[in-house]
Amino acid sequence: MHSLKVYEATSSQMINLNKSSVFFSNNVHPEEVTRTCSKLGSIKVVNQDKYLGLPMVVTKSKEQVFGCIKECLGKRIQNWKNGLLSPTGKEIVLKLVAIALPTYTMSTFRLSKKLCKEMSRMMANFW
C-alpha cells in the first residue's frame, strides 16, 4: 500500500481501488498472494488471459498464444469468399482489413515466421 501512496504523491494521480485489480504470476507463492491482497484491501485478483486484446503472458509456444489471430483472419476470409466481391474489392478488403488485423499485436510482440507465412498463404489463397 505504501508503494501506491508514493505513486499517488509523485504522479499527482489518485488510484481508484474500486476499479483496480492485480495480476500474479504462477511463480508467486499462494501465501504471498494472500498477504499482498490483505494489505491492498479491496483490490481484486484477476486471472485474465488478455489485456487490451493482447496476451498478458506469452508462453514458449507462440503458435498457441497468437493462433487466435490466424483463426480470426481465416473466419474473415471465409466470410469474404461467401460474398460477391470483384477483384478490386478483394484487393481493397485484403489491404484494409487482412493486413491491418495483426498490426496491433505485431507492434508489441514478434510473431513467428511460421505464423506470418501461414497468414500470407491464407491471403494469397483468397484470390
* Integer angstrom CA distances of residue 60 from 27, 63, 71, 86, 118: 16, 9, 19, 41, 19
CA distance 84 to 19: 46
Indicate the SS3 state at residue 21.
strand
This prediction's pTM:
0.58
CA distance 72 to 66: 10
**pLDDT, tens digit, 9 for 90 and up, residues 71-127:** 888 888 888 877 777 888 888 888 888 888 888 888 888 888 888 898 888 888 877
Q: Where are the domains of the chain?
A: 2-45, 50-125
**pLDDT, tens digit, 9 for 90 and up, residues 45-82:** 776 677 777 777 777 777 777 888 888 888 888 888 77
